[in-house]
């Protein structure tokens, strides 16, 4: 049988259990990445090339790692990023992530391609719980406009437009396993063809013609803060500021799009000094995702200037292996790690995290 939940001591442990309990096709869809999966591996490894320069003799009895993201107060600087097809991992799907996010007071980003309907996921939220919408832009802009306006009306507090996927990447593991599980279909109402794997099957509506020219249109149809998800170079961060968007996610889609894209945290290290030079520091909220598995990864990103990080696969794996209890424990493990790591680097709040606390001299050597 599978190990007891109490035997999972870190986020990696959930991955091993998920692999052993999930159907082959579902595992193939969640775990796969593009081509040779070099970027997938790099996302994780890039954090291993950043080392700490801790402070000593700081009173760290009380540690508080709450912060704000797009104006929302959160207990810990991560959010549940958008990952499609939640019901491949658990019959209840994305609402499991909604409940766990509530319990730990973090934000959940709702995917366009969720297995649960958008309204089910919003209805599963309680009280003043905050959710964001991840948007794949449809070639039919009337459909996209309806989705965006509906999300705003239902109280979503951020619009994350995915900009790294004009075409879905080639995920060969997914293509080989071609999930066929019933009940996992998305609510997009599209006809799907599974012969190229799950990802291709559900994404044919995405508009490869999306461009910077569309940004003012989004700004005209919504008051939600707009964040570009999947930015990969500082030039585009500067452009995002010029276009007046509120945030960027430095991300390569968990290695699932362009193989040999650099890790988000490396792009972050390139970005913040340039923004400072240009006098643009603080003009935009910067998020990072990809390969975040430890609280020390979160702290490294914050030291380098990120406002917060997104976490994807670990919560899917925890959900697939143990349901809500699994995701709850994964988040609790991150909190425990966070408290200890903050103490050990000599910081009592996130506003004390800065670049003097990390050594990035090896970050650029691949």
User: Which residues bind to ligand FNR, rule: CB under 6 A?
Assistant: 29-30, 43, 81-84, 111, 113, 134, 162, 229, 251, 253-254, 256, 289-292, 310-313
Q: Are 10 and 293 in contact (CB under 8 A)?
A: yes
Residue nearest ligand FNR, CB atom distance: 312
* Least CB distance to ligand FNR at residue 88 (A): 8
Task: Tell which residue, 289, 225, 88, 276, has the closest CA to residue 297.
Answer: 289
What sign results for the dihedral spanned by CA atoms 321, 324, 329, 331?
Answer: positive
Q: How many Å apart are CA 246 and CA 226, to the nearest integer? A: 6
Instruction: Choose between 188 and 348: whose C-beta lies nearer to ligand FNR.
Output: 188
- Shortest distance, CB of residue 13 to ligand FNR, whole angstroms? 15
Q: Which is nearer to ligand FNR, 45 or 351 (CB)?
A: 45
Query: Which of residues 305 and 312 has its CB atom nearest to ligand FNR in the complex?
Result: 312
164 catalytically annotated = yes
3-state secondary structure of 108: strand
- How many Å apart are CA 156 and CA 122, to the nearest integer? 8
Question: Is 44 assigned a catalytic role?
Answer: no
**Minimum distance between the CB of residue 247 and ligand FNR, rounded to whole angstroms?**
14
Token reading at 3: 């190990």
Q: Is residue 39 within 8 Å of 252, Cβ to Cβ?
A: yes
- Whether 119 is catalytic is no
Least distance (Å) from ligand FNR to the CB of residue 47? Answer: 11
Tokens 């995917």: give the residue: 111
Active-site position among 253, 259, 289, 297: 253
The residue among 96 and 347 lying less far from ligand FNR, judged by its C-beta, is: 96
Q: Which is nearer to ligand FNR, 125 or 288 (CB)?
A: 288
CA distance 365 to 130: 39
Q: Which of 29, 30, 164, 328 is catalytic?
A: 164
Length in residues, the chain = 366
Least separation, in Å, of the C-beta of 163 and ligand FNR? 9
Write down the catalytic residue from 79, 136, 317, 322.
Answer: 136
CA 115 – CA 95 distance, rounded (Å): 10
Cβ atoms of 276 and 51 within 8 Å: the answer is: no
Active site residues: 136, 164, 253
């Amino acid at each position: 049988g599978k190990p007891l939940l109490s035997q999972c001591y870190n986020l990696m442990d959930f991955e091993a259990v998920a692999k052993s309990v999930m159907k082959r096709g579902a595992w193939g869809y969640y775990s796969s990445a593009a081509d040779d999966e070099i970027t997938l591996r790099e996302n994780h490894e890039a954090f291993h090339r950043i080392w700490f320069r801790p402070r000593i003799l700081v009173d760290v009895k009380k540690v508080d790692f709450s912060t704000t993201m797009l104006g929302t107060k959160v207990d810990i600087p991560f959010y549940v990023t958008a990952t499609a097809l939640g019901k491949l991992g658990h019959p209840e799907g994305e609402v499991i992530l909604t409940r766990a996010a509530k319990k730990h007071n973090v934000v959940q980003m709702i995917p366009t391609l969720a297995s649960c309907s958008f309204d089910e996921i919003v209805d599963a939220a309680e009280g003043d719980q905050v959710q964001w919408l991840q948007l794949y832009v449809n070639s039919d802009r009337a459909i996209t406009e309806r989705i965006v306006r509906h999300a705003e009306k239902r109280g979503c507090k951020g619009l994350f437009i995915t900009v790294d996927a004009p075409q879905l990447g080639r995920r060969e593991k997914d293509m080989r396993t071609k999930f066929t599980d019933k009940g996992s279909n998305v609510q997009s109402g599209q006809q799907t063809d599974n012969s190229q794997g799950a990802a291709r099957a559900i994404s044919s509506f995405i508009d490869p013609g999306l461009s910077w020219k569309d940004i003012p249109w989004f700004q005209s149809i919504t008051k939600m803060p707009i964040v570009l998800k999947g930015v990969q170079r500082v030039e585009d961060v500067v452009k995002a500021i010029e276009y007046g968007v509120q945030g960027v996610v430095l991300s390569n889609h968990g290695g699932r799009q362009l193989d040999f894209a650099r890790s988000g945290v490396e792009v972050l290290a390139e970005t913040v000094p340039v923004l400072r030079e240009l006098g643009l520091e603080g003009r935009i909220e910067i998020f990072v995702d990809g390969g975040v598995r430890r609280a020390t990864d979160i702290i490294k990103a914050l030291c380098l200037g990120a406002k917060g990080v997104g976490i994807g696969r670990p919560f899917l794996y925890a959900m697939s292996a143990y349901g809500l209890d699994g995701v709850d424990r994964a988040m609790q493990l991150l909190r425990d790690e966070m408290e200890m790591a903050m103490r050990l680097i000599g910081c009592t709040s996130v506003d004390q995290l800065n670049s003097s606390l990390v050594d990035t001299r090896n970050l650029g050597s691949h």
